Structure 1
Amino acid sequence: MAGMLADKNILVTGVLLESSIAFHAAKLAQEQGANVILTAYGRVSLVERIAKRLPKPVPVVELDVSDRAQLDSLATRVGQYAEELDGVVHSIGASPSDTLGGNFLHAPWDSVAQALHVSAYSFASLSSACLPLMRKGGSIVGIDFDSSLAWPDYDWMGVAKASLESVSRYLARYLGAQSIRVNLVASGPIRTMASRSIPSFDAFVDIWEKRSPIHWDENDPVPTAKAVVALLSDWFPATTGEIVHVDAGLHAVGA
């Protein structure tokens, strides 16, 4: 039986460890029939080792989203493995330590600019870099964390996520004419490499334990990955500019 991503070519960014949401999105995409290509930031050999744990072998392409030259050459380099792309997963985010942990009022602009560049602007620059390979349209999906509230110690990363959400809406507006859908999956807190940089991550987990209507497992990235795969598929043909919450319903309830 063919999967929901049968014969689709999907580019997945952000795979670093097996705990990554991106790793499980890549794994599920393969299980649903997709041909997956990964990108790696700096640690190409590490990503290649982690990639061996996927069901099928995958190529790994180096990509630093803050490097214009790498973005400009991305379509050519990915094109060595796939003539066209049907989907792109943006699972990229970083914020210097001095922009987190309650330092909101004193964070220097250089650090804030880096957070916004890597975590928000890169959604647009990555999408633009992939456009030459998305001639038949497709789906671009980003990983989000709900920014409608101010979270403890999340500080400028929260602002970056708010920017990401706005970028996704503008991308949906400008790419719709090319039959490209753009959506975000707002995940609850997941214990990943990125979460280790958040000083109050355990406080996030405690909030979810107390408030979410259904149980949330911070060690299980699969529910989030499933939503990513669903949005990459043809089962959401008229959905764009949307934020799908996979957070056990916490976004919908008060204290």
Structure 2
Amino acid sequence: MGLLDGKKLLVTGVLMDSSIAFHVARLAQQEGAEVVLTSFGRQLRLTQAIAKRLPVTPPVVELDVTSSDDLDQLAGRVREHTDHLDGVVHSIGFAPQSVLGGNFLSGQWEDVATALQISAYSLKALAVASRPLMGRGSSVVGLTFDARYAWPVYDWMGVAKAAFESTARYLARDLGPEGIRVNLVAAGPVHTTAAKSIPGFEKMDDGWPERAPLGWDASDAEPTARAVAALLSDWFPATTGEIVHVDGGFHAMGF
């Protein structure tokens, strides 16, 4: 039996086979889970094409986390493929270029608001939209980049991640009585398409392998995907509101 045998999972954020979410979906299927993906707009066909590279081609349902209509219809759309969910993976993030890459002081509220809605508020929106399908023992897992620090070029996305991490704690508080766990994985820098869209991203992983006690391979999303799979499993039944660091130990070292 696999770690996720019989689990029904909803995975967001699969755009390319380099995406962390893609590796989560792949590993989940290999560990016995049934997976449903989400995508929207022009990205929908891309996700459908990439989905064919998974061990089993999963269905893809439409979800724009900024659309109240999509959020309201999410449970119904997922029910066309499964009657419940045991886990939800949040791998969604976006900030306009105008608030990244050294533009912190010049960032305008309209663009900052976009970053906060898509990268932080969407965790609450996704959890609430999925809530009718989840029962006791279900798990929500999101992906973050350690928001305790001011990273080079990350700017307002770093602020959004701080809000994201706080949102996870409040969700853990309010969904805990229903038996739903909410945890995050703080990954080290991984060379995904999303990461490459951040101007000067290479500054964020400069020196990471040397400073991390275990070393770090920014081209390998497998360690992060394994942590997500573990948190989706039944092996953390009493853990919620937690942030698990998968960064080679970088976060624990002094500078």
Same fold (TM over 0.5): yes
What are the superposed Cα offsets for residues 116-166 of structure 1, whole Å, 9 maximum, x if unpaired?
A: 000000000000000000134400000000010100110000000000000
Partners of 1:220 and 1:194 lie apart in 2 by 15
Q: Deviations over 1:174-224 (max 9, x none)?
A: 000110000000000001110112122111221303311111000000000
Kindly indicate whether residue 44 of structure 2 is the aligned counterpart of residue 74 of structure 1: no
Which residue matches 1:151?
A: 151
Tell me the distance in 1 between the aligned counterparts of 2:40 and 2:248.
31
**1:57 offset after TM fit, Å?**
1.9
CA–CA distance in structure 1, aligned partners of residues 15 and 27 of structure 2: 16
Instruction: Tell me the matched-pair count.
Output: 254
Matches within 5 A, 1:58-97: 58-97=58-97
Tell me how far 1:41 sits from its aligned partner. Answer: 2.7
SS of 1:74 mapped into structure 2: helix
The match for 2:254 is 254
Stretch deviating more after TM superposition (38-47 or 111-120): 38-47
Q: Structure 1 stretches (4+) deviating beyond 2 angstroms? A: none
> Secondary structure of the residue that 1:217 maps to in structure 2?
coil
What amino acid is the match of 1:173? R
Amino acid at match of 2:208: W
**Residue 16 of structure 2 is aligned to residue 17 of structure 1:** yes
C-alpha distance in structure 2 between counterparts of 1:125 and 1:104, whole Å: 26
C-alpha separation between the residues in 2 aligned to 1:162 and 1:109?
17
Number of the residue aligned with 2:6: 7
In angstroms, what is the RMSD of aligned CA positions?
Answer: 0.8
CA distance in structure 1 between the partners assigned to 2:40 and 2:88 by the alignment: 16
Supply the distance in 2 between the matched residues of 1:198 and 1:58 (Cα, whole angstroms).
29
Check conservation: 2:135, 2:180, Cα contact below 8 A.
Answer: no
Aligned partner letter, 2:247: D
Distance across 2 between alignment mates of 1:67 and 1:179: 27
Consecutive unaligned residues of structure 1, counting only runs of 5 or more, are none
**Distance in 1 of aligned mates of 2:46 and 2:131:** 28
1:57-101 Cα offsets, whole Å, 9 max, x none, are 210001100000000000000011010000000000000000011
